[in-house]
Amino acid sequence: MEITHIEHIGIAVQNLNEAIKFYENVLGLKCYAIEEVKDQRVKTAFFMVGQTKIELLETTDPEGPIGKFIEKKGEGIHHIAFAVKNIENQLQTLQQKEIKLIDNQPRKGAEGLDIAFLHPKSTFGVLMELCENKENK
Ligand code: ZN
């Protein structure tokens, strides 16, 4: 595995607008993008912290992954995303090591990144995402 840095930390929130106010007014961060990712049934808001982002996630569907997460566990940290190179190769290597994957192939996430999730059963309880920015190397 070749991880370059923590790309972002995904945080599930009930109300994106209320959460944005906290991140801006209390933490002093600036929301630089709001984007709906239809595939994952979420609306996302991004903040830059050094070279790492905070990704706030509000569900657009109670049955979506974030809706179910909040119902079960409440608001809080949802996943951690690592920036990698050659995401396809990384997924292959993980499969060879019999790590359980949610995505066997990368798909498109927010900000045009190629992303894939690892199953928390194989990662000591943490939902992990790999992402690669192919457009901006
Ligand atoms: Zn993410």
Domains in the chain, CATH or no CATH each: 3-132 (3.10.180.10)
What pLDDT does residue 107 have? 92
Helices (H), 2-137: 16-21, 65-73, 87-96
Q: Are 120 and 126 in contact (CB under 8 A)?
A: yes
Query: Mean pLDDT in each 10-residue stretch from start to end of the chain (137 residues)?
Result: 94 98 98 93 96 97 94 97 96 96 92 93 96 79
State the distance from the centre of ligand 1 to the C-alpha of 4, rounded, in angstroms: 16
State the distance from the centre of ligand 1 to the C-alpha of 71, rounded, in angstroms: 19
State the distance from the centre of ligand 1 to the C-alpha of 124, rounded, in angstroms: 18
State the distance from the centre of ligand 1 to the C-alpha of 95, rounded, in angstroms: 21
> Each residue of 23-45: b (16+ CB within 10 Å) or e?
beeeeebebeeeeebeebbbbbb
The terminus-to-terminus CA distance of the chain in angstroms comes to: 18
For 116, counting Cβ atoms within 10 Å of its Cβ (0-12 exposed, 13-18 middle, 19+ buried), the class is buried
